[in-house]
Structure 1
Amino acid sequence: MMSTMKKRYWTLLFVLGFASFLCFCTPSLHAYREWLLFLCLFGIALIVQKKGVGQRKFKDIPLLDALQEGVITLDWEGKVLQVNQKGAHYLKEEKGRLIGTLLFNHPLLKSHYQNFHRIRETFIHQSFANEKEGLEGEIKVLEPRKKILVTLLDSSGHYQKKQLGKDFVANASHELRTPITIIKGFAETIYDLPEISSGMLTEFTEKIVRNCQRMDSLVKNLLTLADLDYLPRAKLQECDLVALIDSCSQTLLSLHPEIQIESLHNEEVIIIHGDPDLLELAIMNLLENGVKYSEQAAKITITIEDGSDAVKLTIADQGIGIPEGDLDKIFERFFTVDKAHSRRMGGAGLGLSIVDVIISKHQAKIDVTSTWEKGTTFTLTFQKVSTAFQ
């Protein structure tokens, strides 16, 4: 078909060119030369245009396959004319099997047939979403009464984030509601009982102060998480992990002088690439957890091992431990193994979430092992510069 069309164009061009030549060479035909010259140039322009369209069609196929969006063109009846690789992938079909089929008869798009019907009547851009399958789509008119464009986009991550956001707000509201209710209750009691004893007044005010501190800690942790979520990557620099651990240990001992901390390392100076402030925050959270969840004076062992291609930091305590069934949940926001114990200690289940985010920003890995009523061990693995950051 294409070969026949080309022959016709070249034949037409030859005839027009020969006629133009005769008009210029034959005096009796001079009156027609401008008109034939125009026809000749028009024929050349038409051939060039058709050739360009053919080349664009040929080049559009790999270009569409490179897009992250699914792109599908339909005729006015809704039959598939062209589909790129992503479009076929989103519909869980082979490209060849989709060509010529009615797109909105497909099981994943059947429920959105009304959108397709509406755009043919109104010519107004239509959007649709399939939350169950994690697909978003748009329908546009390419050529009125001739072609329609459908684009598909994987929105599973978007809806997942949206749901996480809803859960986050619900959990934060719940965690804040408890201390607010306690503070309000004790404040009203003090207001309603002007003759309250000094002992009871002291007890009430201590509980009010403790719950205020809990709210303050919760808000600070929420703000920290928000900052970390929007931080693209930690500001990495050379950092001596041995010195950082010594500093964290001294800080913890000043807050809890009764605890025991043992620090072991196979080199005097162990350099990693990290953000010292963020790493200190993560390590302090792990150390404070070891103190909070120890029934007696905490005993914590910190080991730093400088290997050939990685540095391992291990923090082990002898606390109450974590049940095996909860190990895969402990980095979730607001998750606590023992809610009553956490509330008594002023925790809201955000500390390990902060640690997890910080470690991921360093492109490092965190693992946890635990035995109930025997203790918990966290292992942080940092890749050496030569393998991770060059």
Structure 2
Amino acid sequence: MKKIFPLILLFITTSLLCFYHPRMTFYSDWMLFVLLFTCTCVLVLFQKQRRERKKGKGDIQGNAFPYLNLMSEGIILFDHAGIVLAINAQAEKLFKVKRSAVIGTSLISTQPEVFWHYFSQISKIANRVITQDSTQVASFCLDHAQMQDSVDLVAKPTGERGVFAIVAKDSLQNYKLQKVGRDFIANASHELRTPITIIKGFAETIQDLPEISDGMLEDFVEKIVRNCHRMDNLVKNLLILTDLDALPKAQMQNCDIVCLMDNCAHTLLSVRPDADIEILHNHDTIMISADPDLLELALMNLLENAAKYSRRPAKISITIDKSDAGVDIVIRDEGKGIPKEDLDSIFERFYTVNKAHSRKLGGAGLGLSIVKTIINKHDAQISVYSQVDKGTTFTLSFNEAHCTVA
């Protein structure tokens, strides 16, 4: 603009001299030449500046765009007028827009020229960074209760004169992880508080009643011991889950799943001698690549649940089938069954179908979560089918890559 201003001044002066001053008529041809020359220079400089502006925007769009797509966050570049200069694929996905539609549109208008998801939040932070020329931060969430979208925005000057950037990150996953952690602590505290309250109550009763009868004392002591066992199991399971979460991969080795299942069945019979356990397998020895200690823990949890939630004597059927696709382990009981609406949630930590019944049996809703975590560590799958009052079937599937037949 500084270069153009003297030319504009020369243009106006020459025009006045050429056409309005009578003494300058003799020089009118020269004046007309100067006038046309000045006009041409003005037009050339205007065109040059326009090309430079376009080139600058083109450089941002052309040179920066490939690098922007390498970013895991959504990036929007815009100028001091709020005009979008570039947008990467992550921002397109997050804000549900097309690059071709939004390039050249304004971020700071009251109404978007094209539809943007969360446009009002984007517009507010864009306005603030332009007017204040400093880094701005914003977070918003549509509905945390329903675990819907949660987004963090950071807007800042880029260092290029008149160019700003909005960095957007989907923080929903972080929020979910935080919520899982809070729920885990709350559930663990609740599960521990219940037996502690019971133990404290009976201990104080024994303390306050020195002349308590032998029968009542025996009953109180039995309940105290049972709740101590319950706390011990809960803490042990919590430690197991912590260790499993920290374990990057199961320590694989070849093990005989038929022999392993026989050992689990004998262990269960030692505590439930009246249980009726049937084991069927199509090979005498079936070798799979697994961590025997972890797999035994998972199988014992499934067998104990099958016996615990069945009418005595518990009837449990186990089938081990080797095929070309891999090995399937099917554990079937004839117990209470699981309602259909609860099947999707049974592998969640602290989830129990019947809380009162589970607590009576000493369960805290961690057993199936441990099973699921162990099976995932083996890159295997677990599925469940159940009918109320008819029984439940768990199927563990190991793919061919982990299986051999001796």
Task: Tell whether the structures are fold-level matches, with TM greater than 0.5.
Answer: yes
Deviation at 1:112, TM superposition (A): 5.7
For 1:267, what is the secondary structure of its paired residue? coil
Tell me the distance in 2 between the aligned counterparts of 1:93 and 1:107. Answer: 8
* Compared CA separation, residues 109 and 219, structure 1 to 2 (3 A): farther
Q: Deviations over 1:48-107 (max 9, x none)?
A: xxx9x9999745423322332211111123321110111111100111122123336645
Measured in 2, the distance between the counterparts of 1:112 and 1:345 equals 54
Do the aligned partners of residues 121 and 63 (structure 1) sit closer, same or farther apart at CA in structure 2, a change above 3 Å counting? closer
Give runs of aligned pairs for residues 245-324 of structure 1, distance below 5 A: 245-324=261-340
Aligned pairs for 1:229-248 within 5 A: 229-248=245-264
Residues 97-156 of structure 1 deviation map (CA, whole Å, 9 limit, x = unaligned) = 221233366451423655444444554433322333232222221127611111122222
Tell me if 1:356 matches 2:372.
yes
Report which stretch shifted further, 137-146 or 360-369: 137-146
Kindly indicate whether the alpha-carbon contact (under 8 Å) linking 2:252 and 2:291 is maintained by their aligned counterparts in 1: yes
2:94 pairs, out of 70, 90, 106, with 90
Structure 1 counterpart of 2:217, one-letter code: L
* Equivalent position of 2:137 in the other structure: 127
CA distance in 1, matches of 2:152, 2:380: 34
Q: 1:56 to 1:238 in 2, by over 3 A?
A: farther
Offset at 1:231?
A: 2.4
Aligned AA (1:66): L
Scaled by the length of structure 1, what TM-score is found? Answer: 0.80
1:144 and 1:331, CA in 2 relative to 1: closer, same or farther beyond 3 A?
Answer: same
Q: Could you tell me whether the CA contact under 8 Å between 2:301 and 2:371 is conserved in 1?
A: yes
Match of 1:21 in 2: none
Bigger mean CA deviation after superposition, 154-163 or 125-134: 125-134
1:247 and 1:59 map into 2 onto residues whose CA distance is 65
Matched residue, 1:139: 155
Indicate the residue corresponding to 2:120 in structure 1. Answer: 110
The code of the aligned residue for 1:305 comes to D
CA distance 1:103–1:297, shift in 2 (3 Å): farther
Partner residue of 2:168 out of 136, 148, 152: 152
**In structure 2, do the counterparts of structure 1 residues 115 and 230 end up closer, same or farther at CA, with 3 Å as the change threshold?**
farther
1:229 Cα offset (Å) = 2.1
Greater mean alpha carbon deviation, residues 81-90 or residues 331-340: 331-340
Q: Distance in 2 between matches of 1:203 and 1:331?
A: 35
Query: Is 2:321–2:327's contact at 8 Å kept on the other side of the alignment?
Result: yes
Q: Is the 8 A contact 1:234 1:361 kept in 2?
A: yes
CA distance in structure 1 between the partners assigned to 2:107 and 2:300 by the alignment = 56
User: Could you tell me which amino acid in structure 2 is paired with residue 245 of structure 1?
Assistant: M
The amino acid of 2:369's aligned partner reads S
Say if 1:233 and 1:361, in contact at 8 Å, map to a contact too: yes
For the 8 Å contact 1:120–1:145, the answer to whether it is kept is no
Question: Contact 1:112–1:128 at 8 Å: present in 2 too?
Answer: no
Matches within 5 A, 1:61-100: 61-100=65-104
Letter in 1 for 2:213: S
Q: Equivalences for 1:164-183 in 2 at 5 Å?
A: 164-183=180-199
Separation in structure 2 between the aligned mates of residue 309 and residue 373 of structure 1, nearest angstrom: 32
Q: 1-side partners of 2:328 and 2:348: how far apart?
A: 23
Distance 1:114 1:287 in 2: 58
Cα distance, 1:75–1:183 mapped onto 2, change above 3 Å: same
**Contact 2:319 2:330 (8 Å CA) reproduced:** yes
Cα distance in 2, alignment partners of residues 114 and 242 from structure 1: 65
How far the C-alpha of 1:203 sits from its partner, in A, is: 0.8
- In the alignment, the residues of structure 2 paired with residue 164 and residue 173 of structure 1 have an alpha-carbon distance, to the nearest angstrom, of 14
Report the equivalent of 1:195: 211
Secondary structure (helix, strand or coil) at the match of 2:210 reads coil
Query: Contact conserved, 2:61 with 2:85, CA < 8 A, in 1?
Result: no
Sequence identity percentage: 51
1:225 maps to 2:229: no
- For the residues of structure 1 that align with 2:301 and 2:329, how far apart are their CA atoms? 14
- For the Cα contact (< 8 Å) 1:88–1:98, is it kept in 2? no
Residue pair 2:337, 2:392 contacting (<8 A) in 1 also: yes
Are the aligned partners of 2:126 and 2:166 in contact in 1 as well (CA < 8 Å)?
A: no
SS of the equivalent of 1:139 reads strand
SS at 2:158's partner residue?
strand
1:300-330 Cα offsets, whole Å, 9 max, x none, are: 1111100102110000111111122221221
What does 1:365-384 align with in structure 2 at a 5 Å threshold?
365-384=381-400
**Higher deviation after alignment, 77-86 or 308-317:** 77-86
Question: Conserved in 1, the CA contact under 8 Å of 2:129 and 2:157?
Answer: yes
User: Residue 244 of structure 1: SS of its match in structure 2?
Assistant: helix
Q: In structure 1, how many angstroms separate the alpha carbons of the residues matched to 2:136 and 2:251?
A: 43
**CA shift digits 1:166-195 (9 cap, x unpaired):** 222222222122111111111111111111
Give the corresponding residue for 1:213: 229
What are structure 2's unaligned runs of at least 5 residues? 1-54, 143-148
